[in-house]
Amino acid sequence: MKKLFVTDKYNGKKLSKFVLDSYPYLSYNTFNKSLRQKDIKIDGKRINKDCNISTGSEICIYISDEFLFPTTNLDIVYEDDNILIINKTDNIEVTGENSLTSIVHKKYSNCAFLPMPCHRLDRNTTGLILFAKNKESLDILLDKFKKHEIKKFYLALVYGIPSPRKARLESYLFKDNKKSIVYISDVFKTGYQKILTSYSVLETYNNNSSLLEVEIETGKTHQIRAHLAHIGHPIIGDGKYGINSVNKDFGFKYQQLHSYKLEFDFKSDSSILNYLNQKCFIKK
């Protein structure tokens, strides 16, 4: 049995929305079947149909873990004794309850050290996530990310065709934690932090869109999404920083942003991970 509590975000929303968001790998059909079998309780009462829920309500779910955390969905790009690289799907957080990390921990539950992620991606950004499989590797990799000795490259489908076709953008970002949104300024303001985002146009399309390769030198929340929107070329499908009418026309539900390449560019000794230096992992 799994127990969840409804947050303000889902107040007045459908039970199905809350449960399926909480368990991204649970299918809608399995959810409906569990309702028919009265395998879901709201505040201690079994229900047999979808309904609206309220903040603070207790949701008890009697569904097998194999439907909630199907480890077969892990797309493992590379693995050895020290690291694990997974291609993350959309609609799942990297950390937290019912996240990619929790699925990884279930798969590796018999290991002395549970693999830990070394960086993050937004819930609906897909792509490569690097996990450390032991404490020494985790410490090394976190240090290398901090020193920018591991490079991350993204593919972004944006609206319009940026000019120039290659640029290094320098701006300032402010994160509003209450609204879960960031703001970009071209000049420094109190509370804003400097961000650096580089892009190059890989392809252009007849529907006024283009595919960019993006690299960030600073890893701030929503940096790529907000920075590209700031210059007038939002990522298609982005419901927060994009253009709703454009997203609807293109038919994408989530931002078309994919972390497709990791490059290891160590400048100093990396102990047990020296063998990774100059290696590159790609998943398009």
Going by DSSP bridges, is the β-strand pair 126-132/257-264 parallel, antiparallel, or unpaired? parallel
Query: How far is the C-alpha of 185 from the C-alpha of 189, rounded, in Å?
Result: 8
Active site residue 122: yes
Give the active site residue among 8, 80, 81, 122.
122
Q: Which structure tokens are listed for 13?
A: 């929303």
CA distances to 136, 191, 209, 282 from 160, in Å: 45, 31, 5, 26
Rounded to 5 degrees, φ, ψ at 174 are -120, 130
Query: How far is the C-alpha of 171 from the C-alpha of 121, rounded, in Å?
Result: 21
Query: How far is the C-alpha of 244 from the C-alpha of 231, rounded, in Å?
Result: 17
Query: How far is the C-alpha of 255 from the C-alpha of 263, rounded, in Å?
Result: 23
Active site (catalytic) residues:
122
